[in-house]
Every structure is written in structure tokens, then in C-alpha cells.
């Protein structure tokens, strides 16, 4: 078999594998997507997460600061998930292979969204990368950030803790 045919088969297999995992897991009750889900942008709705604090974060493999923020996002999910935090990373890569590779690194504890056409990103009118939006338990946008700086993670974590605490004391 010629080199071009093998390349075609490889690309086809990657695309089929990527499209096959998008939207594969949803919660048993039909509400919020289950952790480990990879959703298409059109299937993501912030309303599905009512009652939880949502940290929606837009990132891509080509974004330098994103490479620092992604491990921090995973850490926040592990640390505060039991208190009601849901971290939802939204990948903007057009290259499905790069997206899939990084999405797998996020681990199964996060509901991940792929937005290669930038539809969700356009809805949020991103000013830079990464961009994050934090919603309280009632679904109200309470904070947003553009960029990521390791020197400000304590401040960002305090903000998350404060939002989580407000929801439990009301």
C-alpha cells in the first residue's frame, strides 16, 4: 500500500476516533454532562450545571499560558469538585489530533468541550487566551479572567473558595 493511502487511513482513523468520543457520556438523569464527557460546543449549556459553581475555561494547544493553566484547572477540580466546583475546559484547536492529545491529558474527571469552529468562543467574545468565566450556583456570571499567571493562582483559588462558600451559606 502506498504512503498516501496509509496517511489517509491514519487521518481517517484519528478523525473517526475523535468524533466517536464527542458527546459519549451524559449523566444518567439527563441533566449535566457526566465527568469524562467530551461535548461538542453546540451541546454545552451552562444551565445544565445549575446548583454547581462552574469554571468555564477556553484554551488551545498553541497557547503558551494555557499549558500552565490546564494543570491548575485539573488541580482545582480535584481539590474542590466535592464542594460543587465543575471545571469545564473548552478546547479551540482546529486540529483534532492536537486537541484529542491534550484533552486526554486533562483526565476523566472533567467535562470537556471541543469548539474547533469557535462558535462558543464567539458567543463569549473572548479577548485573549486563555479566558475563564466563573458562574455561581444560580448560573450567574460572577467573575472572568483573561490570561493566566502562576503568581496569581492563590488569589484565583481564594476567589473560587469564596464563590463555593456563598452557595452553601445561602
Give the model confidence (pLDDT) of 106-145 as tens digits: 666 778 899 999 999 999 999 999 999 999 999 999 999 9
Q: Kind and range of the H or E element at 80?
A: helix 64-80
Domains of the chain (ranges, CATH numbers): 22-169 (3.40.30.10)
Average pLDDT over residues 100-106: 70
pLDDT digits (tens, 9 = 90+) for 83-99: 999 999 999 998 877 77
pLDDT digits (tens, 9 = 90+) for 21-53: 344 333 434 455 555 568 899 999 999 999 999
Q: Compute the distance between CA of residue 116 and CA of residue 80 in angstroms, rounded to an integer.
A: 29
Would you state the pLDDT for residue 56? Answer: 97
Largest CA distance in the chain: 66
Amino acid at each position: 500500500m502506498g504512503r498516501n493511502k496509509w496517511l489517509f487511513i491514519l487521518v481517517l482513523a484519528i478523525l473517526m476516533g475523535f468524533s466517536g468520543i464527542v458527546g459519549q457520556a451524559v449523566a444518567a438523569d439527563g441533566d449535566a454532562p457526566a465527568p469524562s464527557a467530551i461535548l461538542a460546543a453546540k451541546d454545552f449549556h451552562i444551565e445544565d450545571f445549575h446548583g454547581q459553581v462552574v469554571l468555564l475555561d477556553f484554551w488551545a494547544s498553541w497557547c503558551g499560558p494555557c499549558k500552565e493553566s490546564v494543570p491548575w484547572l485539573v488541580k482545582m477540580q480535584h481539590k474542590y469538585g466535592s464542594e460543587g466546583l465543575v471545571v469545564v475546559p473548552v478546547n479551540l484547536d482546529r486540529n483534532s489530533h492536537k486537541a484529542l492529545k491534550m484533552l486526554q491529558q486533562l483526565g476523566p474527571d472533567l467535562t470537556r468541550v471541543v469548539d474547533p469552529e469557535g462558535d462558543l468562543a464567539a458567543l463569549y467574545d473572548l479577548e485573549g487566551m486563555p479566558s475563564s468565566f466563573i458562574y455561581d450556583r444560580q448560573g450567574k456570571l460572577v467573575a472572568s479572567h483573561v490570561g493566566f499567571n502562576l503568581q496569581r493562582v492563590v488569589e484565583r483559588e481564594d476567589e473560587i473558595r469564596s464563590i463555593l462558600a456563598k452557595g452553601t451559606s445561602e
